[in-house]
Amino acid sequence: MSKIFNFSAGPAMLPAEVMLQAQEEFLQWNGTGVSVMEFSHRDPAYVKMAQEAEQDLRELLNVPDDYHVLFLQGGGRGQFSAVPQNIAAKTDTVDYLDCGTWSGYAIREAEKYVSQVNVVGAAEQTEQGKRIQPASEWQLSNNARYFHYCPNETVDGIAIHDIPDVQAPIVADMSSNILSAPLDVSRFGVIYAGAQKNIGPSGFAIAIVKKSLLGQPQPEVSSIMDYQLQAKDNSMYNTPNTFAWYLSGLVFKWLKRQGGLAGIGELNQRKASALYDYVDASDFYRNEVHPDYRSIMNVPFQLADDELDKHFLEQAHQAGLVGLKGHRFVGGMRASLYNAMPYEGVEALIDFMREFERTHG
Ligand code: PMP
């Protein structure tokens, strides 16, 4: 089979090395004669692996000791309700920055649990492209229990590169950019992410929670989404997604071998720059995001004539470039360049785009 590069936004490609290791160990994990999927999560061998995964994640992100690292279920959206239920009271005010599609879902979910959800600012169109309103324009509350934003909007390809300078504890949905570059975790109250882009299989989620933010959760919070309960039970209050935890652990080890977040961050910058530079230089393709707000992970681009979209996708597929269809809300194309995408994948995409432009431009 010739080489396939998978640009899917998620579930997304995982490192080939990790997939091969998982394949090799699939039936016989850790010399035990059984698969990791058939193992009790209470077995000392499994617990050791799980703890090592947490430790590796802590090392990669340099997570301070006063933070819980939780391995949960329910993906990114599960955290949309877990966050308000765990760190706000119903009568609190919370601030949300509406960065794009996923922020909108997070806002609508929070409205179920907190009476005052204040949308402080939003994405907007400017002459230089789509961006998020600058911080000077945000209408922040003076008593917000937390400030929520999504630093990388997967659908829109919009990103906020600097951590906002706000008083309230910052909650960030990093589903599509976690582990993509070095990060100062101590600036955040909660970081959460669905796993299926830079971590592992879908349905799994990670939450990194500053311990001092946890008081009494809302009384109706489901036990499996109760951060304190999960922390007390080392994220094993209920049976965790054992396979996802294992695979994520392999990804963390792989990341360490790539030079950690500094190493992968540098590679991610190079991949995104190569593609944006090519798109900007072309009259045939365009990206509609303001240059200061462009995502490093998800690069949407449009063709000069959207009648050609179908041909582009078909021919790309034949060339081994898959998962390029833009989100149904946005149309056009989207190349997701998560950690596992090698530089040669981006080169192959640019070569294909150049040839398509030559024959259709
Ligand atoms: N937040 C962001 C930024 C996402 O990209 C996604 C999924 N694409 C989600 C939340 C929702 O994640 P899930 O489907 O795992 O619930």
Q: Which residue's CA is minimally distant from atom 4 of ligand 1?
A: 175
CATH of the domain at 351: 3.90.1150.10
In the structure encoding, which two tokens stand for residue 103, read together?
């922020």
Q: Is 247 in the pocket of ligand 1 (CB under 6 A)?
A: no
Q: Please report the pLDDT score of residue 93 as a whole number.
A: 98
Given 210, 230, 257, which residue is the final one in a domain?
Answer: 257
Lowest mean pLDDT among 33-37, 245-249, 255-259: 33-37
Q: Is residue 242 part of a domain?
A: yes
List the one residue out of 139, 164, 136 whose CA is nearest residue 150.
Answer: 164
Q: Are residues 119 and 180 in the same domain?
A: yes
Q: Residue by residue, what is the 3-state secondary structure of 79-119?
A: HHHHHHHHHCCCCCEEEEEECCHHHHHHHHHHCCCCCEEEE
List the one residue out of 332, 330, 295 whose CA is nearest residue 153.
Answer: 295
Q: Tell whether residue 77 is among the known ligand binding residues.
A: yes
Which residue segment(s) compose the domain that 289 sits in?
Answer: 5-16+260-360
Cβ neighbours of 265 (radius 10 Å): 19
Cβ neighbours of 223 (radius 10 Å): 11
Q: Is residue 55 part of a domain?
A: yes
**How many domains are contained in the chain?**
2
Given 214, 233, 257, which residue is the final one in a domain?
Answer: 257
Active site residues: 102, 173, 197
Q: Per the confidence metrics, is the pTM higher than 0.95?
A: yes
CATH of the domain at 246: 3.40.640.10
pLDDT beyond 70 at 2: no
Q: Is 154 in the pocket of ligand 1 (CB under 6 A)?
A: yes
Q: Are residues 201 and 99 in the same domain?
A: yes
Q: Which residue's CA is minimally distant from atom 12 of ligand 1?
A: 76
pLDDT average, residue stretch 231-243 = 98
Given 257, 292, 307, which residue is the final one in a domain?
Answer: 257
Q: Is residue 21 part of a domain?
A: no
- pLDDT tens figures, 88-118: 999 999 999 999 999 999 999 999 999 999 9
Q: Tell whether residue 242 is among the known ligand binding residues.
A: no
- pLDDT tens figures, 45-57: 999 999 999 999 9
Q: Please report the pLDDT score of residue 96 as a whole number.
A: 98
pLDDT-derived band at 235 (thresholds 50, 70, 90) equals very high
What distance in Å separates the CA atoms of residue 267 and residue 273, rounded to the nearest whole number? 10
Contact 293, 131 (CB under 8 A): yes
Q: Is 164 in the pocket of ligand 1 (CB under 6 A)?
A: no
